Amino acid sequence: MARWRLSEHLQRQDWVAVAIDFLILVVGVFLGIQASNWNDDRKDRGLANAYLDRIKSDLSYDLQGLQARELYWRASAEAGEKALQFAEKGRLDRDQWRTLLDFFNAGQIWNWAPSDGTYREMLSSGRMELFSDAGLKSQLSAYYVGRQTQAQALLDTLPAYREEIRAAVPYGLQRYILDHCDANVSNSFRGRPVCPPPSDVTGLAELNRRLAGDPKLIGDLRSWMTTLHYARGVGIENQGSAARLIERIDAEKR
């Protein structure tokens, strides 16, 4: 309709009307483009918020997992330190049964790896550009790429000591520990009282002396305790990083 009027005004050489029609046409095109852009921006913002929700869920899962594992790793470290006191100083601060549990529990490990599926999906599909906050993108990269390389090397490993202590302790005792002391891996060290000793404790003192006198076993226990110390530090740092990212995501969505 506007083009038809413009053609008519051109034929009549009504230049004022031509100018008005042309202005109307330009404004109409401009508003159409703007409406399309606003609609695209709205869709992109909705998609960005959906990804932010998913990443926040991943981070919350990481945070809860790391908090649970810190309890587990701390108990493993405490058991290892007590076992080393017995091995290095010959001091029996606990009874023979608890000392054996210390040797065994020092080899317990609950691995951890980050929940990075959403982040990797965004990278592979080129959708990181949906996030306008460069600082947020930098923090996400540091958490999922830089920090996790170090974290996985420390937190997703099985120590040699774990295999050696399981090879050294008679299977009957291990089975008793697994059945009576470690029924649920996620709760095994959460304030769990020491399980009662088996009815037959014959030979426990000799077994503990043999474990304490095994140079390779004790050497690997020392090495594992140092690695576990670093791993716990990385885990605590990752808890802080995940918590800060969750706060930043909440701020980004406001």
Confidence of residue 21 (pLDDT cuts 50, 70, 90): low
Collect contacts of 248-252 with beta carbons under 8 A, ≥24 apart.
Answer: 248/133, 248/135, 248/136, 248/139, 249/52, 249/55, 249/56, 249/59, 249/136, 250/56, 252/52, 252/131, 252/133, 252/136
133 lies in a domain? yes
Tokens standing for residue 43: 């869709």
DSSP 3-state of 49:
helix
Confidence of residue 123 (pLDDT cuts 50, 70, 90): confident
45 lies in a domain? no
C-alpha count within 13 angstroms, C-beta hemisphere, residue 208: 26
Confidence of residue 57 (pLDDT cuts 50, 70, 90): very high
Tokens standing for residue 21: 């029609």
Confidence check: pLDDT of 104 > 50: yes
Q: How many domains does the chain have?
A: 1
7 lies in a domain? no
- So what's the pLDDT on residue 145? 82
130 lies in a domain? yes
- So what's the pLDDT on residue 191? 43
Task: Please state, in angstroms and rounded to a whole number, the distance separating the CA atoms of residues 252 and 136.
Answer: 9
- So what's the pLDDT on residue 38? 54
In the predicted model, what is the mean pLDDT of residues 38-53? 74
Q: Determine if the pTM surpasses 0.95.
A: no
CA dist 146 to 137, 141, 155, 242, 243, Å?
Answer: 13, 7, 15, 14, 17
DSSP 3-state of 206:
helix
Least confident of 105-109, 122-126, 144-148, 194-198: 144-148
55 lies in a domain? no
Confidence of residue 219 (pLDDT cuts 50, 70, 90): very high
Confidence check: pLDDT of 39 > 60: no
- So what's the pLDDT on residue 184? 47
Confidence check: pLDDT of 189 > 60: no
Task: Please state, in angstroms and rounded to a whole number, the distance separating the CA atoms of residues 214 and 204.
Answer: 16
Domain extent, residue 178, equals 64-253
230 lies in a domain? yes
Note the residue count of the chain.
Answer: 254
Tokens standing for residue 69: 């594992």
- So what's the pLDDT on residue 100? 94
Tokens 């404004």 appear where? Answer: 27
**Which of 45-54, 149-158, 239-248 ranks highest by mean pLDDT?**
239-248
14 lies in a domain? no
1 lies in a domain? no
- So what's the pLDDT on residue 185? 45
